[in-house]
A = this chain, B = another copy of it.
Amino acid sequence: MTVYKMTLQYDGTRYHGFQRQPKLLTIQGTIEKALTTMTKGKVVDVIGSGRTDAGVHALGQVISFDYPGDIPADKMVKALNSLMPRDILFVDGNWAAHDFNARFDTVSKIYEYRVALGRYTDPFLRLYTGHYPFKVDLNRLQLALEDVVGTHDFTSFEASGSVIRNKVRTIYTADLDTSNYPHEIRLIFHGDGFLYNMVRIMVATLLEISNGRRDVHDFLRLYDVQDRQQARLTAPASGLYLKKVFYPVNTVD
Contact = CB atoms under 8 A, between A and B. Distances in A.
Closest 5 CB pairs of A and B: A11-B123, A86-B126, A87-B123, A89-B123, A86-B121
A197 to B, nearest CB: 22
A76 interface: no
Interface string A85-119: 01111000000000000000000000000000000
A124 B57 contact: yes
Interface in A60-93: 81, 86-89
20 contacts: A9-B122, A9-B123, A9-B124, A10-B123, A11-B123, A11-B124, A11-B126, A57-B124, A81-B120, A86-B121, A86-B123, A86-B126, A87-B123, A87-B126, A88-B123, A89-B120, A89-B121, A89-B122, A89-B123, A124-B128
Interface of A: 9-11, 57, 81, 86-89, 120-124, 126, 128
A86 B133 CA distance: 14
A126 B14 CA distance: 13
Contacts of A89: 120-123
Nearest to A10: B123
Nearest to A91: B120
A88 B81 CA distance: 32
A24 to B, nearest CB: 19
Contacts of A81: 120
A9 B11 CA distance: 22
A68 to B, nearest CB: 26
A253 B247 CA distance: 63
A11 B126 CA distance: 10
A122 B88 CA distance: 9
A118 to B, nearest CB: 10
